[in-house]
Chain A
Amino acid sequence: MEKITADVVIVGAGGAGLRAAIAIAESDPDLDVALISKVYPMRSHTCAAEGGAAGVKGADDSLENHFHDTVSGGDWLCDQEVVEYFVNQAPRELVQLEHWGCPWSREDDGSVAVRPFGGMKKKRTWYAADKSGFHILHTLFQTSLQFPTIKRFDEYFALELLHKNGKCRGVVAMEMRSGRFFSFQSSVVIMATGGGGQCFPFTTNGAIKTGDGMAMAYRAGVPLKDMEFVQYHPTGLPGTGILLTEGCRGEGGILVNKDGRRYLQDYGMGPETPVGEPVLKTMELGPRDRLSQAFWHEQKKGNTVETPWGDCVLLDMRHLGEKKINERLPLVRELASSYVGHDPVTDPVPVRPVIHFMMGGIDSNLNGETPMPGLFAIGETACSGLHGANRLGSNSLTDLLVSGRRSAERAAEYARKAGEIPEDPAMTAQSEDVVTAIRELLQQSGGGESIAGIRREMKSTLEEGAGIYRDEEGTLKACEKIAELRGRYGKIEVHDKSNVFNTDLQQALELRNLLDIAETVAEASLERRESRGAHQRLDHVERDDEHFLKHSLAYRQPDGRPRIDWLDVTITRSKPGVRDYSGGKSE
């Protein structure tokens, strides 16, 4: 096995990983960065983000507003010092992207335009039409090409962390094109591997979002935090789960049921606002958790529309007119027309809630530090406590930048202190063990289980047991079932024996990661006996600050099952209160 040393290893070349890599290269040209990604950087799923990135802009808004929107949007499970830092840094990072060439949409006076977004009191979402993530990712990737110290390892699949005496020491990865294994040895690893929405059946997340980084950290003994909080986006296309951005509603699109009623007013988000004149934090611009829950109730009441792909509600954008749709939502138009045959200019588009984002992830803090010294985590794979129980749309893209740069500063400092990486036979041995396990997986046959079969069962188990609404019985069943699937995983067979671009093997490894994180989702959902943000329990319908104003921490036990522990939330300025989405009417 080949050994590669680097001062800093970054796993993941999405928005977060690229931002961190650039920050290190810019600040210290003496540090070499190994940037590992299982896909070419510009394929990373950041490219799929449509709506935009939040950062205070304009005189009528304030950091204070952004802070409060984020904390109340997160149902007070946010760590407030993290939010504070985030809202402070957000504008600076978004301007930095502008300087790097991001083609942000513009106002008449040539300044960057902002649009309204769900749960935000003011317009503060910077956007590049409806391809914001795509442009952010490409801008970062292209900018990164000028730094010779960033050495890329494209299409290398990271397998397991290396660690010694509780400290992170690197990562083992497989080069997809050759099947060769590499031991990346370094005192610093930054995990930036994105989310894991693929553990659910119906998701906006691409095929590559399999929670690899979370699972690697979890297996290395690092806890996963707040895994029960999984966000449904209220407007996914039925069938494929493709996202129609919140920007559709930000621009004035409305949601109606089969009778044409704007049903959100029946779920505490009214009173009804005039069509085409969206009011911030009200009706269609309520937060995602509330909107998705409203769909569930409408479905129960039989108010949804039947379509060939199942029950839906309708997203009506016709009143926006062709010009505005083409200018602001061209991708939405293309997607809806191609995949469900409804052109938003002429037809309402059927939509339904779809798994979108994991608030939970590797336990980390403001600096991206995890409980394991030398291991940092940023972006969607991390849980720094920014998003709390429900992420506000457009806070995530900004978080990639803010947490990417911040962790890079800390990681660089850590790497400089750690100095040269000593030759260590123990690390080589650890790497060999990882490879042996994979060789065994590749050899085994006759078990009778299929990767696709177990994956399907896992997905439907999570949807049933840990979907929009949960209860004791359902989550318990899900925990049992996933533990069972984890057992059966031992009997899968990888049919492809080739060393070259073996995607069968890759899918097997991804499935293992998915099972690990799926189990933490189910287990944490079982243990959190309250309703908060994206986690709603039918048997515990109220928020319970006395017992559960805490983060859950899932630790992996020797038998593979998670143990749930709790960690206090940092509250500085904002005491838990009522989340108000009635446009201030109930104040």
Chain B
Amino acid sequence: MSMRQMELEVMRYDPEQDDEPHFQSYSVPCEDDWAILDALNYVKENIDTTLAYRWSCHMMVCGSCGMMVNGEPSLTCKTFIRDLPDKVRIEPLENFPIERDLVVVLDDVMEKLRMAKPFIIRHDEPPPEDQEYTQSRAALYKFKQYTMCVNCMCCYAACPQYALDSSFIGPAVLALAHRYNIDSRDQGKSERLDLLADHDGVWECSFVGACSEVCPKSVDPAAAVQQMKIDGAKEWWKQKLGGGKS
């Protein structure tokens, strides 16, 4: 396997030392098949043990290693150096406060997850303990895509609406609410609608579509949000026309 010398320009910030972030360059001998995460691990092991970043699974499912790679929100374990120039700039995810180096503060979105009520809500009795709900494959495929979110937060880093006003609930959480709304086992749509159709919910989205473009798992949160808008509008008309809540 052949090697390639890469230059990583990494944003550093240690609140105990620095007033603001700065860049540090590392020259890293990379194997052809490496991902950016491998290059960072090389730095951590061999050049500078103080570099702080999150990572775990190295197989695109744990969602820890989201960062800006050349300005693009990316999951660094699936961003390969073969697709990049020799010089790469790595920054912490945009739109989040920087805790330290490449580690960002995620409190806000973690708190918002709760607002989506991301669990099955039933008004009817659940079926007996030893029996599953039946669900056709068609019904499963309707929401399956929205279950694939790894919470890497790349969509939040891409969303200009969130950048300008972080009270916006944001792509991943809205997509998660939608996922439960359209799950045939769930009956909690009206509970979620109230919250999400309000001020900071779906109507804050101006459909830039950046969230879907950067999503490493093809979840397409922008689609979920637009569908929720349509749902919300339908619901509104129904109420106006005296249909009441569904």
Q: Which residues of A contact B (CB under 8 A)?
A: 39-40, 42-45, 47-48, 91-92, 95-96, 98-101, 103-106, 108-112, 131, 134-135, 138, 142-143, 145-146, 154, 177, 206-208, 239-240, 242-243, 308-309, 331, 334-335, 338-341, 450-452, 494-496, 498-504, 507
CB distance from A198 to the nearest CB of B (A): 10
Cβ-defined partner of A98 (8 Å) among B1, B132, B136, B148: B132
Q: Which residues of B contact A (CB under 8 A)?
A: 1, 14-17, 33, 44-46, 49-64, 78, 80, 99-101, 103, 105-106, 110, 113-114, 117-120, 126-127, 129-137, 139-140, 143-144, 147-148, 150-151, 176, 180, 183, 185-186
CB distance from B215 to the nearest CB of A (A): 14
Q: What residues of A have a CB within 8 angstroms of the CB of B58 in the complex?
A: 206-207, 240, 242
Q: What residues of B have a CB within 8 angstroms of the CB of A143 in the complex?
A: 119-120
Cβ-defined partner of A39 (8 Å) among B64, B132, B148, B180: B64
Task: Give the docked Cα–Cα distance between A285 and B141 (Å).
Answer: 29
Which residue on B lies nearest to A126, using beta carbons? B132
Assess the B45–A501 pair: CB atoms within 8 A. no
Assess the A47–B147 pair: CB atoms within 8 A. no
Task: Give the docked Cα–Cα distance between A503 and B105 (Å).
Answer: 15
CB distance from B208 to the nearest CB of A (A): 26
Cβ-defined partner of A242 (8 Å) among B59, B140, B176, B186: B59
Cβ-defined partner of B62 (8 Å) among A112, A206, A341: A206
Name the residue in B17, B54, B127, B144 with the highest tally of chain A Cβ atoms < 10 Å from its Cβ: B54
Task: Give the docked Cα–Cα distance between A502 and B133 (Å).
Answer: 46
Assess the A208–B56 pair: CB atoms within 8 A. yes
Which residue on A lies nearest to B46, using beta carbons? A452
Assess the B57–A503 pair: CB atoms within 8 A. no
Task: Give the docked Cα–Cα distance between A98 and B185 (Å).
Answer: 9
> A48-B62, A496-B50, A499-B16 are contacts. A40–B55 as well, Cβ < 8 Å?
no
Task: Give the docked Cα–Cα distance between A116 and B118 (Å).
Answer: 31
- Chosen A-B contacts, 19 in total, with CB atoms closer than 8 Å, are A43-B63, A47-B61, A96-B129, A98-B132, A99-B120, A99-B185, A101-B120, A103-B147, A105-B140, A106-B137, A110-B135, A135-B147, A145-B117, A242-B59, A341-B33, A452-B49, A495-B49, A501-B52, A503-B53
Q: What residues of A have a CB within 8 angstroms of the CB of B80 in the complex?
A: 338
CB distance from B160 to the nearest CB of A (A): 25
Task: Give the docked Cα–Cα distance between A334 and B217 (Å).
Answer: 11
Q: What residues of A have a CB within 8 angstroms of the CB of B110 in the complex?
A: 40, 154
Cβ-defined partner of A99 (8 Å) among B63, B133, B150: B133
Assess the A335–B60 pair: CB atoms within 8 A. yes
CB distance from A27 to the nearest CB of B (A): 15
Which residue on B lies nearest to A237, using beta carbons? B59
> A47-B57, A106-B137, A335-B60 are contacts. A177–B130 as well, Cβ < 8 Å?
no
Task: Give the docked Cα–Cα distance between A109 and B62 (Å).
Answer: 32
Which residue on B lies nearest to A240, using beta carbons? B58
Assess the A106–B136 pair: CB atoms within 8 A. yes
Assess the A500–B134 pair: CB atoms within 8 A. no
Q: What residues of A have a CB within 8 angstroms of the CB of B114 in the complex?
A: 145
Assess the A92–B62 pair: CB atoms within 8 A. no
Q: What residues of A have a CB within 8 angstroms of the CB of B60 in the complex?
A: 331, 334-335, 338
Which residue on A lies nearest to B120, using beta carbons? A101
Assess the A103–B144 pair: CB atoms within 8 A. yes
Assess the B99–A177 pair: CB atoms within 8 A. yes
Task: Give the docked Cα–Cα distance between A104 and B144 (Å).
Answer: 10
Q: What residues of B have a CB within 8 angstroms of the CB of A499 in the complex?
A: 16
With A47-B57, A142-B113, A502-B52 known, 13 other A-B pairs at CB within 8 A are A40-B110, A48-B57, A95-B129, A98-B133, A105-B140, A106-B137, A142-B176, A146-B119, A331-B60, A341-B33, A496-B49, A498-B16, A501-B52
